[in-house]
Amino acid sequence: MKFPSKVKLVDVGPRDGLQNEKAPVPAAVKIELVHRLQDAGLSEIEVTSFVSPKWVPQMADAAEVMAGIRRQPGVRHSVLTPNMKGFEAAVSAPRAQWPDEIVVFAAASEAFSQRNINCSITESMERFRPVVAAARERSIGVRGAISCAVGCPYEGDVAPAQVELVARLMKDIGVQHIGVADTIGVGTPDKVQRAMEAALKHYGLDELSGHFHDTYGLALANTLAALEMGVWQYDSSSAGLGGCPYAKGATGNVATEDVVYMLHGMGIATGIDLDKLVDAGQFISDFLERKPNSRAATALLNKRVA
């Protein structure tokens, strides 16, 4: 079995991790988290979402957060933009504050599409089409997320054929990269591999990433299963923060610290300094007054005390 020799991790903690927090997290804290993640060697950070503040109040400060980030060469910053309104808000700032990449997000299940973005899968593609075109005209990268790629909180199991369909629709509208997302963390390694195979019918290995929530504790196993297939790009969340407001009970993404510990142990390069990453996770966990939701971070922090 040959694993990739390097892996790119996108830390989605500031966005996916914080979007579900009930108490407001000040923009300055989000900005500091982004700075700490880039200092730790993350080459891409998903910073925020330009979505309706009525739907996701925690992301209402998207423009302020983007404006406050000290950009670092070699680090990409991405944001979610579900429609033209969100995209226009993201690029209404001076060019230096534009995102390097935008994310449009669809679902492999109709029910989740309705609950999350208030439209059908087909309608979502029509909303995304001008967003994708406008981003590409400005040389902003475009990633597409496919939520509920293995299971849906409303419909149960999701067939790989649904993932293949949404991947094809995304390809048709010009999305350059897709993320296969286990939104509610119900996937098992075999199911995740089937979902990845379905996505690979329309996208190459270099245009594909995994986004695994850890509700049932299998996100790391699912990462390993995708690695076995050669998938080398993953979203993860520092301190295992997060969840989706429209996927009740689902926990955060796989903790970046846990993925980095596993990859480095396997001799796979990430460019990330694990100690600095643990500090970043500790920073946001302290602010939220909880312990990092990462086994590796906990072990490393205990070792520092001992």
Contact positions vs ligand HMG (CB under 6 A): 16, 19, 49-52, 55-56, 80, 82-83, 85-86, 105, 116-118, 145, 147, 181, 183, 211, 213, 244-246
The size of the interface with Mg ion (CB under 5 A), counted in residues, is 1
- The Cα–Cα gap between 92 and 170 comes to 25
Task: Specify the residue, 159 or 268, whose C-beta has the smaller distance to ligand HMG.
Answer: 159
- Give the rounded distance of the alpha carbon of 72 from its chain centre: 20
Taking CB within 5 to 8 Å according to partner kind, which of ligand HMG, Mg ion, none is near residue 191? none
Encoding tokens for residue 70? 């000290």
Task: Specify the residue, 16 or 258, whose C-beta has the smaller distance to Mg ion.
Answer: 16
182 sits near Mg ion (criterion: CB under 5 A): no
Minimum CB separation of residue 113 from ligand HMG in Å reads: 10
Taking CB within 5 to 8 Å according to partner kind, which of Mg ion, ligand HMG, none is near residue 83? ligand HMG
Minimum CB separation of residue 153 from ligand HMG in Å reads: 11
Task: Specify the residue, 18 or 135, whose C-beta has the smaller distance to Mg ion.
Answer: 18
Taking CB within 5 to 8 Å according to partner kind, which of ligand HMG, Mg ion, none is near residue 238? none
Catalytic residues: 244
Minimum CB separation of residue 282 from ligand HMG in Å reads: 23
Task: Specify the residue, 38 or 147, whose C-beta has the smaller distance to ligand HMG.
Answer: 147
Minimum CB separation of residue 34 from Mg ion in Å reads: 18
Minimum CB separation of residue 293 from ligand HMG in Å reads: 16
Q: Which of 4, 15, 16, 297 binds Mg ion (CB under 5 A)?
A: 16
Taking CB within 5 to 8 Å according to partner kind, which of Mg ion, ligand HMG, none is near residue 141? none
Checking DSSP bridges between strand 151-152 and strand 156-157, what pairing results, if any? Answer: antiparallel
Task: Specify the residue, 91 or 256, whose C-beta has the smaller distance to Mg ion.
Answer: 256
Residues interacting with Mg ion, by CB under 5 A?
Answer: 16
